[in-house]
Amino acid sequence: MPELPEVETVRRGLLPAMEGRIIERVEVRRRDLRFPFPDRMAERLTGARVVGLRRRSKYILADLSTGETLLVHLGMSGRMLVSGTILGDFHHDHPAPAKHDHVVLDMEGGARVTFNDARRFGAMDLMSTDRAEDHWLLRDIGPEPLGNAFDGAYLARRLSGRMTPVKAALLDQKLVAGLGNIYVCEVLHRAGIDPRRRAGRIAPSRVATLVPLIRTVLAEAIEAGGSSLRDYRQADGELGYFQHAFRVYDREGEPCPTPGCGGRVARIVQSGRSTFFCPRCQR
């Protein structure tokens, strides 16, 4: 599933095609994805201007001139692809309709934004902009890891007394928004913390080191366009490149990159997910 860097990369790729522009035509090609589409979605979107395009956790939110906000979740395999407009140095013509192109937005200026989702675990919904934070998918999400509300004191307070493994705690979207399996593995390796350690038994001084590391890893991943492992693509169809900078994720059996460590990356399963770490230098 795309994590915060991938979703932020897609949002940035959509900005020149969508923000400030009118949605001139909408084609909805099925009744639902993971959930049913909202009533009259095509009608409610047609003619609306996108006044802002923002991200909350792993969701893209398009605020509209109608007072509504379009929520988009990419799910496991969803893509928001732009065609018919110049992105960087490239001009992308409209491709022929594909089997899994479920929603098509024709934008003012000639751009087309297509939501493609082979597995159909993605979602779209419409809600009142002034009550967006109360939407059932958003209301319980924790602070953004790149925002001011997320700091060492907050994280130490939320981890205090928790007996779950620290990796599971950091994946809890109620504690912090947008972190997923890849980036938590990478952060814990840089911090030298064993992902199996009980979250409440990590010293506050070590917890405090996690915050700048989380921000650094996320910033590096966004700069690299996210990580492309299976289905993820940027809005222009290009791959992300952060997977080439992984230190431990998907590196089972390879030498640990920590200077002087001499260990090898191991893989274990936690809560049904693969965890990659170095048993020698992560404690």
Residues annotated as part of the active site: 2-3, 58, 273
- C-beta of residue 276 within 8 angstroms of C-beta of residue 252: yes
Q: Between vectors from CA 216 to CA 191 and to CA 142, what angle results, nearest 5°? A: 85
Among 208, 253, 227, residue whose Cα is nearest residue 2: 227
Beta strand pairing status for 59-64 and 68-73? antiparallel
Q: What is the DSSP letter of 225?
A: T
Query: Which amino acid, one-letter code, is at 253?
Result: G
Measured from the Cβ of residue 85, the count of other Cβ atoms closer than 10 Å reads: 21
CA distance 253 to 48: 52
Tell me which residue has tokens 């979207």.
173
CA 75 from centroid of its chain's CA atoms: 10
4, 81, 206 from 14: Cα distances, Å: 15, 8, 38
Tokens standing for residue 114: 């297509």
Largest Cα–Cα distance of the chain, in whole Å?
61
